[in-house]
Chain A
Amino acid sequence: MRILVSLVAVVALYLLAWVGVGVLGLRTLFGTVLPYAALALFVCGVAYRVVRWAAVPVPFRIPTTCGQQRSLEWIKPSPLENPHTGLQAFLRMALEVLFFRSLLRNTKAEVRAGGRLIQGSSKWLWAGALAFHWCFLVVLVRHTRFFTEPVPWCVNLLAHLDGFLQVGVPAMTLSSVVLLGALGFLLARRLVTGQVRYISLPADYFPLFLLLSIVATGLLLRHVVRTDLSAVKEVAMGLVTFAPSPGEGAHWLFYVHLFFVSVLLAYFPFSKLMHMGGVFLSPTRNLANNNRAVRHINPWDYPVKVHTYEEYEGEFREKLKTAGIPLEKE
């Protein structure tokens, strides 16, 4: 049910774009109006979410420590697992954001026949997630060649390296293939692994289906439909220079691709995809574990009712006296 709803939603989006451009020829709507609207939603939405998060105070410093603290001189601390300074916390975050350090922790031991213990690991989630995110970034950067004139050398270099396998004309890019594979893996995992399927919501399937559709339409455009790239670039340049061009020469599937991307952009700020921004604000990861060295201030701290020593001594005076314990007031 949860899966079906998400799938139906994506198919509906596809049909919408196909009818809109392929049948009704609404190129301006799908090529200009919606992308601008989606981008505006994305930028404002993400900014709004991040600003809102940042506006919420962090009353206590509560990092999760995953390594030795800094204490005695002769005990070696683990600055990346248990940062003591801001810089170390920054580096810990970098490991987390760039290499998904925590997912890599999934080590486990296995017992083989005969009861022998073997240390192994379960790093599939880490590998799949890392492959997806990095390839997505590479594909994104490669796409800047549509939005820049002249194309920066680094983008060209990246595209060149990406296509080093030299399979097909134009060359099949490694990143797209891995991206597709990784997405497929992440989806399969959700469908097959009992626990993960149990916890998954439509909001987990929908982005996966959407991303898969984006990659699939992209691959089709490049390798099967072989749409007119100059027309695509015309549309893209038109968007960035605020001189929109309808791009008459582009295949209708290109508008489907663009529409999917627009939907992704518009959906992004309201979804779990905001983990991209949230990870930087997670108080258990982005703070140094130096509570005992540097006092953390709670901005909304307020006085509370306590049981003072005077009240305590008042209640237990006789008992304190009998036990020979010194008193403030005899």
Chain B
Amino acid sequence: MDEQLQAKRAEIVRAWVERTVEMYPADAAKFLLRVNDPFSNPVGTTIALELEFLFDALLRDVPPDEVVPRLDRVIQITSVQDVGSARAVSFVFALKEVIRRALAADRADAGLLRRCLEFEQRIDALALLAFDSCSRFLQRIADIRVREAKRRVWSLMRMLKVDWDHLPAEEEGAGG
């Protein structure tokens, strides 16, 4: 199975990226797919780069702690597109159909469907990580809202000796 997928890697990744940018309007999708500049087109290039990594990770069965940071980069983008959390993670599920289509030509192979289903279990595991990641980013947005409101009246709060330790703490890593 892995060899079959490995052989069609480029095709699968490309199709997966195309399916992922579908959440954007069609003309934007075109731009996202074509402009290969990480600063002029950070969305498209990030999605392309990270999905490629994620697909390889699925093939190699990479442990979650390596996968999550890369998955995060995609979810971080899809979480702020105002499309809802279902669509923000839907790209993971799209991979199933992409793979089945890519392998459709080999359908004479009797064991293929079973092996496909086995591989899809890995995709399901990735989907669970994606849910986690998405809810983490939605929470981050909520926290950011609070912290921004807090920053806006910072000097006032301090002058009034307000204790705000109960407000969401800065995330780990923040503050260098």
A-to-B contact residues, CB < 8 Å:
108-111, 115, 117, 194-195, 198
* Known A111-B36, A111-B38; 13 more pairs at CB < 8 Å: A108-B39, A108-B40, A110-B37, A111-B45, A111-B49, A115-B49, A117-B38, A194-B26, A194-B27, A194-B30, A194-B34, A195-B30, A198-B27
Which residues in chain B, 26-54, are within 8 Å of chain A measured between CB atoms?
A: 26-27, 30-31, 34-40, 45, 49
Which residues in chain B, 44-74, are within 8 Å of chain A measured between CB atoms?
A: 45, 49
In Å, the complex CA distance between A221 and B171 comes to: 74
Q: Please give, as numbers and ranges, the residues of chain B lying within 8 Å of A108 by CB-CB distance.
A: 35, 37, 39-40
B interface residues, tally (CB under 8 Å): 13
Q: Please give, as numbers and ranges, the residues of chain B lying within 8 Å of A111 by CB-CB distance.
A: 36-38, 45, 49
| Contact yes or no, A194 B39, CB < 8 A | no
Shortest distance between the CB of B136 and any CB in chain A (Å): 25
- CB-defined A-B contacts under 8 Å, sample of 9: A108-B37, A109-B37, A109-B40, A111-B38, A115-B49, A194-B30, A194-B34, A195-B27, A198-B27
In Å, the complex CA distance between A234 and B60 comes to: 80
In Å, the complex CA distance between A110 and B39 comes to: 9
In Å, the complex CA distance between A117 and B38 comes to: 9
Q: Please give, as numbers and ranges, the residues of chain B lying within 8 Å of A109 by CB-CB distance.
A: 37-40
Q: Name which residue of chain A comes closest to B45, CB basis.
A: A111
In Å, the complex CA distance between A267 and B35 comes to: 36
In Å, the complex CA distance between A162 and B45 comes to: 44
B-to-A contact residues, CB < 8 Å:
26-27, 30-31, 34-40, 45, 49
Shortest distance between the CB of B98 and any CB in chain A (Å): 21
In Å, the complex CA distance between A310 and B95 comes to: 69
Q: Name which residue of chain A comes closest to B52, CB basis.
A: A113
In Å, the complex CA distance between A115 and B36 comes to: 12
Q: Name which residue of chain B comes closest to A112, CB basis.
A: B36
Q: Please give, as numbers and ranges, the residues of chain A lying within 8 Å of B26 by CB-CB distance.
A: 194
User: Considering the complex of A and B, which 4 residue pairs feature the smallest CB-CB distances, nearest first?
Assistant: A194-B30, A108-B37, A198-B27, A194-B27
Q: Please give, as numbers and ranges, the residues of chain A lying within 8 Å of B36 by CB-CB distance.
A: 110-111
In Å, the complex CA distance between A108 and B37 comes to: 6
Q: Please give, as numbers and ranges, the residues of chain A lying within 8 Å of B39 by CB-CB distance.
A: 108-109
Shortest distance between the CB of A113 and any CB in chain B (Å): 10
In Å, the complex CA distance between A182 and B138 comes to: 49
Shortest distance between the CB of B137 and any CB in chain A (Å): 24
Q: Name which residue of chain B comes closest to A115, CB basis.
A: B49
In Å, the complex CA distance between A195 and B35 comes to: 12
In Å, the complex CA distance between A17 and B131 comes to: 67
In Å, the complex CA distance between A108 and B31 comes to: 14
Shortest distance between the CB of B44 and any CB in chain A (Å): 11
| Contact yes or no, B31 A195, CB < 8 A | yes
Shortest distance between the CB of A112 and any CB in chain B (Å): 9
Q: Please give, as numbers and ranges, the residues of chain B lying within 8 Å of A198 by CB-CB distance.
A: 27
| Contact yes or no, A194 B40, CB < 8 A | no
In Å, the complex CA distance between A198 and B26 comes to: 10
| Contact yes or no, B31 A194, CB < 8 A | yes
Q: Name which residue of chain A comes closest to B31, CB basis.
A: A195
In Å, the complex CA distance between A242 and B30 comes to: 55
In Å, the complex CA distance between A109 and B41 comes to: 10
Q: Name which residue of chain A comes closest to B35, CB basis.
A: A108
Q: Please give, as numbers and ranges, the residues of chain A lying within 8 Å of B31 by CB-CB distance.
A: 194-195
Q: Please give, as numbers and ranges, the residues of chain A lying within 8 Å of B37 by CB-CB distance.
A: 108-111
Q: Please give, as numbers and ranges, the residues of chain A lying within 8 Å of B34 by CB-CB distance.
A: 194
Q: Please give, as numbers and ranges, the residues of chain A lying within 8 Å of B30 by CB-CB distance.
A: 194-195
In Å, the complex CA distance between A115 and B53 comes to: 12
Q: Please give, as numbers and ranges, the residues of chain A lying within 8 Å of B27 by CB-CB distance.
A: 194-195, 198
Shortest distance between the CB of A122 and any CB in chain B (Å): 8
In Å, the complex CA distance between A194 and B31 comes to: 7
Q: Name which residue of chain A comes closest to B29, CB basis.
A: A194
Q: Please give, as numbers and ranges, the residues of chain A lying within 8 Å of B40 by CB-CB distance.
A: 108-109
Q: Please give, as numbers and ranges, the residues of chain B lying within 8 Å of A117 by CB-CB distance.
A: 38
Q: Please give, as numbers and ranges, the residues of chain A lying within 8 Å of B49 by CB-CB distance.
A: 111, 115
Q: Please give, as numbers and ranges, the residues of chain A lying within 8 Å of B45 by CB-CB distance.
A: 111
In Å, the complex CA distance between A238 and B34 comes to: 54
Among B26, B37, B40, B49, max chain A CB count under 10 A is at B37
Shortest distance between the CB of A105 and any CB in chain B (Å): 12
In Å, the complex CA distance between A195 and B25 comes to: 11
In Å, the complex CA distance between A73 and B45 comes to: 43
Shortest distance between the CB of A292 and any CB in chain B (Å): 31
In Å, the complex CA distance between A157 and B30 comes to: 47
In Å, the complex CA distance between A98 and B37 comes to: 29
Q: Please give, as numbers and ranges, the residues of chain A lying within 8 Å of B35 by CB-CB distance.
A: 108
Q: Name which residue of chain A comes closest to B34, CB basis.
A: A194
Shortest distance between the CB of B117 and any CB in chain A (Å): 32
